[in-house]
Amino acid sequence: MPTIIYHDPSGVRHSVDVPQGSTVMEGARARNIPGILGDCGGACACSTCHVYVAPEWVAKLPPAKDMEIDMLDFAFEPDPERSRLTCQLTVTAAMDGLVVIIPAQQV
């Protein structure tokens, strides 16, 4: 099972085993990681699961689709290179060790 590393807003690092096929958001919510709200339940209809992907992972992830890019306009301090919505990142074996940083606030 791939391990996703979440850095929460207080700086605490959480290493979470997340099943392949689920999303990075679902992994965070299942373990009550602070800062990942996912108010829309993963429908890409809000930006409350926004994270910054660690620089070394940006090119390794599939590119964001138009709907995700549009929703990132509503995120707190989005970064054009590193911001992603965790509801749109489906976990694969290749994501083992993925590092995401949760912003200080959502929206």
What confidence tens digit (pLDDT) does each residue in 9-67 have? 999 999 999 999 999 999 999 999 999 999 999 999 999 999 999 999 999 999 999 99
d(CA 69, CA 67): 5
Alpha-carbon distances of 72 from 25, 35, 38, 68, 80, rounded to whole Å? 15, 16, 13, 6, 9
Residue 107 in any domain: the answer is no
Number of domains comprising the chain: 1
Domain span at residue 54? 3-101
Alpha helices in the chain (DSSP H): 24-30, 66-72
What confidence tens digit (pLDDT) does each residue in 74-92 have? 999 999 999 999 999 999 9
Residue 51 in any domain: the answer is yes
Alpha-carbon distances of 17 from 6, 30, 49, 91, rounded to whole Å? 11, 10, 18, 10
Residue 106 in any domain: the answer is no
CATH number at residue 27: 3.10.20.30
pTM here is 0.96
Residue 33 in any domain: the answer is yes
